[in-house]
Structure 1
Amino acid sequence: MAQKIPLYIVGLAKDEPANELLMSKFGGALEKVQQVLPDIIEAKITVKSQNPEGSRTHYDVTAIVKTSKNQLVYTESDWDILKICDQLIKKLEREMPKHDDKRQRDSIRKREV
């Protein structure tokens, strides 16, 4: 099939478990969307954490998917990074029906009667 899309995560430590989770879940969603959007160049997830030394950490996450024509930007913020990841994946997968309908259709005038 197509080559693997480069996915970069900025703002989390490499040994943090949330980093592995974001890579696997969002990477899988990118491969799924790549069937409809084959022109994806790269994806980048930026994580900003607020109050990391307290009992709870608030995350502001921005996902940018670069295609050859435009750039798709999704943002979420919440206390739970797992919930943020799922919401970003849902937003990305909503692009599939938008682009699937734009495929070439046969003209009505050119059909045989």
Structure 2
Amino acid sequence: MEGYELVAKESEFEQDGRKEVIVDDVPVLLIKQDGKYYAIEDVCSHDGQPLTDGPIENCQITCPRHGAKFDLATGAALCMPATEGIPTYDIKIEAGEIWLCEN
């Protein structure tokens, strides 16, 4: 698939889960929640720290460092201290393979 990069297989995820991947030298967090996949840049826009271990609830991830929240689907910043959103990635699944492309 032109413009997309193979990053994982669906078989790597059970119910909900997450996996750190690299897309074009950028850290990306691939998340499966409630049967749906999301992919966001794995860097908080507030202080540049990874979101990897942040709690996920209601389609939002919370930065474990200062509590900024981001929408998994859009990357929008939802509360202070973050004022800018984070990039998201388009996801395609074919034959059990997960492919990502930056939006």
Do they superpose with TM above 0.5? no
Higher percent of residues as helix? 1
TM-score (norm 2): 0.31
Answer 1 or 2: which has greater strand percent.
Answer: 2
